[in-house]
Amino acid sequence: MKRLTRFFVLLGLVACTALGHAQQVSVVEKELSNGMKVLMLPRKGEPTISGGWVARVGSANERPGITGIAHLFEHMMFKGTPTLGTKDYKKDLEIINEQERLRDLMRAEEAKVRDLYRKGEIEDPYKPENKTARYKELEKQFNELIKQQREIMVKNEFDRVYTAAGGSQMNAFTSTDMTAYFITVPANRLEFWMWMESERLLRPVFREFYAERDVVFEERRMRTESTPTGRLEEMFNSLFWESHPYSWPTVGWPSDIPAISKAQADEFYALYYQPQNLTLVLVGDFDPATCQKLCEQYFSRIPKGKQPPPDVVTLEMKQIGEKRMNGEAEANPMVDILYHTVPFGHKDSYALEVLGQLLSTRTGRLYKGLVLGKQVATETWARQDGYKWAGSFNIGGECKDGMTPAQVEAAIYEELEKLQNETVSNEELQKVKNNFAASEYRKLANNHAIMFQLIFNEGFGDWKEINNGGKKVQAVTADDVKRVVNEYFKKENRAVATYTRKPGKAVTGGDDIFAGLSEEQKSVIRKVQSSIQAESSVEKLKQAQEQITKQMGGADAKNKPFLQAYLKMVTERINALEKGTK
């Protein structure tokens, strides 16, 4: 038996070595005359090119008063240019300038309302009835300008032009440390991509700025405020990060989003979207020399920035005592724990990543110990999150019916204590390394996936991690794992959040919704609950309602109770929306 185990370990080592060699990517790195970096990875055989660019700016680069502005730019960069998005650019500019004049006057009125709120003369500065008479008058004028602008706008033209040219997978994202934009185009559309992307960087027009700001505010409401635990999770994050700008949400604080001005946005754009802070990434069927020439031709038109963007200098204060938060929500009881760890690329980050894999997944220690063993949880999780400037390790579990967060929390600490005192076996460690190698290999399956990994690593600080990170994970030893568990998993270094059910509140209509469901089905129902509660489109919910009803007609005895529970939640959400409640 031992001989057979050694054979599988050896087989795993051979597989990891082969995968490690396969995942090496030969990137051509160049710098344009204006300081913009270009990463090119030619791949013959696929007649497409996945192109994108990353701005090394995220919510960590914001400050109180303009939180959410980095994410706002993710929206604004699709609004077009002087030639895309409008029928009359001259008129467009006139309207934008007049909007700014009115907004300056409206901000003065908003300041008066905030003053009344500070003095206790009004309870909520955002209620419509608390607007000043002058503000309401200015708002009418502003809304008229919005109507005029929409009459000359060509809605979603940037997207439609790309689609007509064969573009696909166009998207963008904003995180704590980066903002990225990407798309895949046919290989013969490389120069077209150059023109489109350089134009929106060189001559962006932030039309519908204030309307889009409202869209972002609604996105915040949908993702955070309308979900059972959204606000509590946001509160917990702010509790954990004491001094670091990671303490505020990427989507921004609700008081900041509607207060951001276009002047502030222009200043932010000039500082963080300058060429020296951007990296172009192209993966696909192209000639690097030709690609570099086109990059210089189109992107060097963008003027070099006058001053480099500042680093994030506010470091997280060393935690000296455990932090705890107790929250009540219309969700299944659970415990969520955060430990302060290390940022992306730190020498200990690789051992912490291995630790996360040892603990997580259906074959990991937490699931085996808490779900299958002690049977105190229905779901568990663990992962290392290494951001650009700092890091955290998240570990937690969802309570099984009848169990408490305290029981799940105690069981988690037992598993961590084992790792602090015992050495992980070679077999268990190798299994994790094999999984890592296979995962890294899958991430490089096609042009788009490779481009995304280059963007991700470059945004955190070093694209070369796409080649070097896997090797460092494979070099992690059992002693390394034991060392980091003892180094970072201390009581004074953690924050703990416990979530319990609100008194008298059951998950979506009562515990009877779980009648007849297996533990796995209950877990799925709990997961979809948040997405259902976040959905605000009655039409979409009714479509889902119709599909579930059809599926119930042919469902067997095992799956019918599950579909009935799902249908009940969707129906209750529809009824709540139609009654005007949230």
- Fold assignment, 323-501: Cytochrome Bc1 Complex; Chain A, domain 1 (3.30.830)
577 touches 545 (CB < 8 A): no
Residues of the chain with pLDDT under 70: 1-23, 504-516, 518-520, 522-523, 526-527, 530-531, 534, 536, 550, 553-558, 580-582
The reported pLDDT for the residue numbered 557 is: 64
The reported pLDDT for the residue numbered 507 is: 46
529 touches 228 (CB < 8 A): yes
534 touches 362 (CB < 8 A): no
- Fold assignment, 28-85+154-299: Cytochrome Bc1 Complex; Chain A, domain 1 (3.30.830)
Tell me the domain boundaries of the chain.
Answer: 28-85+154-299, 323-501, 511-578
Tokens read off for 129: 């009835």
477 conformational bin, left if phi > 0, alpha if psi -120 to 50, beta if neither: beta
342 touches 484 (CB < 8 A): no
346 touches 487 (CB < 8 A): no
The reported pLDDT for the residue numbered 8 is: 35
The reported pLDDT for the residue numbered 518 is: 67
391 touches 342 (CB < 8 A): yes
For residues 180 and 70, give the distance between their C-alpha atoms in angstroms, rounded to a whole number: 11
The reported pLDDT for the residue numbered 500 is: 94
185 touches 192 (CB < 8 A): yes
3-class SS of residue 495 = strand
Taking the model in full, what pTM does it have? 0.83
Q: What angle do CA 71, 74, 79 make, to 5 degrees?
A: 135
309 conformational bin, left if phi > 0, alpha if psi -120 to 50, beta if neither: beta
The reported pLDDT for the residue numbered 564 is: 78
Identical topology for domains 28-85+154-299 and 323-501: yes
Burial class (CB in 10 A: 0-12, 13-18, 19+), 97: exposed
DSSP secondary structure of 352-402:
HHHHHHHHSSTTSHHIIIIIIIS--EEEEEEEEEE-SS-EEEEEEEEEPTT
